[in-house]
Amino acid sequence: MPADLSPIDKAKFVAAKRAVDYVESGMKLGLGTGSTAAWMVRCLAERIREEGLKVKGVPTSSRTAELARSLGVPVVSLDDAKWLDLTIDGADEIDSQLNLIKGGGAALLQEKIVATASDQMIVIADAAKEVAQLGAFPLPVEVIPFGWQTTKALIEETLVSLDVLSRDCTLRMNGDAPLVTDEANYIVDLHLKRIGNPRQLSLVLNQIPGVVENGLFIDICDIVVVGHGDGRVTVRDINSGEVEDGHIDLAPSDNIFTDADD
């Protein structure tokens, strides 16, 4: 691991390294998207290279697929894999019940499909992602381009009757044009500030015509691995209720992480 990483990147690295310990040879894995998930792909590639680990990965975005292939992680489609043993992914927010907001990287649709097609989902994050209540991070909603302004208006109208603090909605842009997801859709970000009932909000949003999926992951995450800049790692298992504290060595080394730029 490079010695000059920021504390947040060190936290992401140690969370990713600990999560990859759950991977066993022969597994079919969902590979998440985002800067923390990119560390996980690198850690997985290191185990493949050094231990001869045999796995197949299903990426949740074209970016993850490109990174995995470049590092020698075998990649297959979800249709080929059919069902997965484990998905490891990041999150933008995590509450005490392991409910998540995801989609900051605009890959929420594929991420949710892959996560729900897995026996288990492990979320990796730095400590800043843990919150008492979801909503400070804008909630991404993937919508089809046709009639997106009407869909956005329907979302805003629906939010009036829901337990949220704000109802500001914006189309996510990529420069001067709307951001386009891997599935050729748009993202509307909901700046809610506080979500009182995530389960209700998720169900209601997905009933709106034009909405493809939202970034609330409810009852999907099984384990969260939280990393800290000093190498400490906390593992919380929602099913067993167990909390495990550990530590990952942050000593620099000349390995696959030398060129990491996330």
Is 231 part of any known ligand binding site? no
Active site residue 66: no
Is 33 part of any known ligand binding site? yes
Is 105 part of any known ligand binding site? yes
Q: Which residues pair with 31 in a beta bridge?
A: 59, 88
Q: Which of 46, 93, 111, 142 is catalytic?
A: 111
Is 245 part of any known ligand binding site? no
Is 52 part of any known ligand binding site? no
Q: What phi and psi, each to the nearest 5 degrees, are found at residue 226?
A: -110, 125
Is 129 part of any known ligand binding site? yes
Is 103 part of any known ligand binding site? yes
Is 92 part of any known ligand binding site? yes
Is 56 part of any known ligand binding site? no
Is 234 part of any known ligand binding site? no
Sequence ranges of the binding site for substrate: 33-36, 89-92, 102-105, 129
| Binding site as annotated, residues | 33-36, 89-92, 102-105, 129
- Mind telling me the catalytic residues? 111
